Amino acid sequence: MESKSFDYLNFANDDAIKRLLEQNDKVVFSSKIFKHNHMNWRQERVLLITTKYLYNLKDKSEKRKIHLEKISAVTKSLSSSEFIIHVKTEYDYRYDSTRRDEIIQILKENYLKLYSRNMPIYGIEESKLDNYVNHENRPYRPPKEEFRLPDDSPEISNKALPDLTKGELIYTRNNEDVKIDSFEIIQEVKRLYNESEYLVKMKDKEETLTLRVIEKIALLDTSTITADHITKQIDSSCPFLLQPELVYKTENALYILFKPVIETNLATLLQKEKRMNERKASFFALQIAIALTHLHSKTIAYKRLRTENIILSKDNYILLNNFDSFNFLSPDNVSEYTSALAKESNTILKYLPPEYYWNKGITLASDWWALGITLYELLIGVTPFHYPDSYSYEPAITSKDPTFPTLLKDHILLTDSSIDLITELLKRDSSQRLSRSVTDQPFFNKWTVKEVMEKKANLDYVFLNDTDPITILYQVSSKEKTCTSSNTK
């Protein structure tokens, strides 16, 4: 039986459209559609989906072409036929069509082929979606997970895990001989590229843990990872670095278990706070600087510092999780892996240093650049090189200096010590970038490193309470020792 055709305009046989398409590209869907621009004007357009691209056409003239790999999610109204196609690193499309469900199904099938998982679909009760679309004049905002439709969430079960009977336990914190198949999956927490996280429960106990799965890819052969690779990363002497409970590997993946706790991250906190005063920002930045100094003393670069990766506990102290693909990659593959991640999450691009764009690789100095970006974001509310599309990041990061708001114009007061520290951290020449004695800088004089490392510093402020949105993340061991540092102010 012949499958149904979605080529309602018969573009597959149209000579003008054939000239528009690339070689070996084929028409999948074509139809007239209504598009809403950023001024809320309703415009008649033609939507063309091929095996490679999504085209926005006016008559048969191309207005915009998007590679299907850049489509990250769809938001649809639950009370009208409006929907939004979310585009990574670019502005979105807001459409209205009675053929919406067919379009979404085609995009979902393509997403599944590309990433081996379901495309996120979000549902909004409102009939008009103008408040949820990212356009040229509005900074990028990812859809909120609270709007994700349950029926469109990836189906998670123990079948998602491969056969682990031939695997190898390469590290256990308590010297227990535990196999990964002793756990059952409760729910998926998140996915990004070759990594995924789950809440799991031991079958013979009530204990719940977080499982991070790092899948084998061309850039990373997880089967070559040894106990030495793991123990090099493990050091319980720093309270701001997460420690695993168990590490297990098979031929195709690495499995790392952590103790979970109900926490959030700095990105979520910043969304609530908008921006922070210097006392709060310095408190978090100092903890990050201590953790980076500790990693760098072992010649380990963190490589992925950004607010969404900084775990925040209810005592207002941070945690960095150093156990992901980055620290098992060869140096030659770090930049290529970063580029692959950036295709799934454009937030990464805002924190990358000039040396990444100059193809000089990511080094220890790159972490200090990312700290400068993060500190600016905490104080101002946006990153210093913030643009609505990703194409502007590279020229700005590689050629422009950060600009700072003023009290008179922007009603934001920054001290010389904060501006000086950010300026030194954001030196484009990595050899000139501040990378030594960072914790000694005047900006951190509000705290002593000793009291922060011992978790005796007090903000006198409760960021998290029982009514705040929270994310299941990790619990650091209560048996931690004091983090060593050359600075003991």
- Give the mean pLDDT of 225-248: 82
* pLDDT score of 162 more than 50: no
pTM of the model: 0.65
Q: What pLDDT was estimated at residue 488? A: 43
Under a CB-based contact definition with an 8 Å cutoff, are residues 254 and 213 in contact? yes
- Give the mean pLDDT of 326-348: 73
Task: Give the contacts of 281 (CB within 8 A, at least 6 positions apart).
Answer: 375, 378, 379, 418
User: 28: part of which helix (H) or strand (E)?
Assistant: strand 27-36
Q: Which amino acid is at 208?
A: T
Q: How far apart are CA 281 and CA 412, in angstroms?
A: 14
More confident: 127 or 423: 423
* pLDDT score of 477 more than 50: no
* pLDDT score of 287 more than 90: yes
Length of the chain, please?
A: 489
Q: Return mean pLDDT, the chain.
A: 81
- Give the mean pLDDT of 384-408: 84
For 107-161, how does the pLDDT look when each residue is reduced to its tens digit (9 = 90+)?
988 887 776 667 889 988 888 898 888 876 655 566 777 788 864 544 444 444 5
- Concatenating the DSSP letter of every residue in 313-376 gives -TTS-EEE---SGGGGS-GGGHHHHHHHHHTT-GGGGGG--HHHHTT----HHHHHHHHHHHHH
Q: Which amino acid is at 84?
A: I
- Give the mean pLDDT of 281-301: 93
Q: What pLDDT was estimated at residue 484? A: 43
Domains, in order of start, for the chain: 6-148 (2.30.29.30), 158-258 (3.30.200.20), 265-468 (1.10.510.10)
* pLDDT score of 199 more than 50: yes
Exposed e or buried b per residue across 30-58, where buried means at least 16 C-beta atoms within 10 angstroms of its C-beta: bbebbbbeeeeeeeebbbbbbebbbbbbe
Q: How far apart are CA 223 and CA 170, in angstroms?
A: 11
User: Considering Cα of 232, then 238, then 241, then 243, what sign does the dihedral take?
Assistant: positive
